[in-house]
Amino acid sequence: MGVVRTPIETDPDLVLDLTDVSLRRDGRTLVGPVTWQVELDERWVVLGPNGAGKTSLLRIASALEYPSTGSAVILGEQLGRTEVTELRSRVGLSSAAVAGRIPGDEVVKDLVVSAGYAVLGRWREAYDEADFDRAADTLEMIGGEHLADRTWGTLSEGERKRVLIARAMMTDPELLLLDEPGAGLDLGGREDLVARLADMALDPDAPATVLVTHHVEEIPPGFTHAMLLAEGGVTATGLIDDVITSENLSRAFAQSIVVDAVDGRYFARRARRSGRHRRP
């Protein structure tokens, strides 16, 4: 006898609806409890120190992990009561874990096109021309059109980051999750990425986006909301200007941080201790 599933009532504007979710391993809480709602037109940044639980939270949001406690509704589907393979194909994810599984000899355009079938390193017999057109478009959107015929193993860190984002966008996802897309980029690469993500943030057709980063300098203008995590818990969440403040960052990073906001960007540094350089 089949399982009778009662459809859950969800707000159609909510792409993520997490209530008291946590992820536990070996008796340890990696993240949570977190209550978090992301709407269709929102662009979120999740920021926090190493080990704060950012990636763990994204693993739940991308339906790669079931929460140990609480309820996770992703794109209207409740984790634990839905077919996750289909759900995962509706979420675009770019992360170091995805990058680590890509064979060095994989050709970029094949890598991007195969995202439509949620496989890595596996070649379907025939992709449509439309699939390759879409792959070319997503590469172009992120400034990687010239990389289409290169192999993964020959790409620089910045080029890889672009290809991963194009791959995540290939399926026209309803939710885009970018886990540290700026890690390892030089200043020019970071600024280029920030500019492209800013364009995407302002595009009303772009999916709801969550960007995980360690650095406020990587927050693209146009991002609307932010969540700060520390030691697995949420220390601040809400509209970006209310969250990315000296006070909140000082609390999350457990040291005195000063944040400046300039032209829609944020810049952070440690506060100078008064009197530190005075002669005795």
Ligand X SMILES: Nc1ncnc2c1ncn2[C@@H]1O[C@H](COP(=O)(O)OP(=O)(O)OP(=O)(O)O)[C@@H](O)[C@H]1O
Helix (H, G, I), strand (E, B) or coil at 161: helix
Among candidates 29, 84, 34, which has minimal Cα distance to 210? Answer: 34
Tokens of 55: 């990636």
Which residue in the set 15, 34, 42, 54 belongs to the binding site for ligand X (CB under 6 A)?
54
* Binding residues for ligand X, total number by CB under 6 A: 12
171 makes contact with ligand X (CB under 6 A): no
Stretch that binds ligand X, among 6-14, 45-53, 151-159, 216-224 (CB under 6 A): 45-53
Q: Are 160 and 141 in contact (CB under 8 A)?
A: no
The binding track of 4-33 with respect to ligand X, each residue x by CB under 6 A or -, is ---------------------x----xx--
Task: Write out the binding residues for ligand X, residues 192-251 only, by CB under 6 A.
Answer: 214
Residue 170: DSSP 8-state: T
Where are any strands of DSSP class E within 64-204? 69-74, 77-78, 91-94, 175-179
Stretch that binds ligand X, among 44-52, 85-93, 120-128, 253-261 (CB under 6 A): 44-52
214 or 251: whose CB is closer to ligand X?
214
Q: Are 76 and 10 in contact (CB under 8 A)?
A: yes
**Residue 276 to residues 256, 271, 273, 279, 280, Cα–Cα distance (Å):** 14, 11, 6, 9, 10
214 or 265: whose CB is closer to ligand X?
214
55 or 78: whose CB is closer to ligand X?
55
52 or 211: whose CB is closer to ligand X?
52
Residues near ligand X (CB under 6 A) are 25, 30-31, 48, 50-56, 214
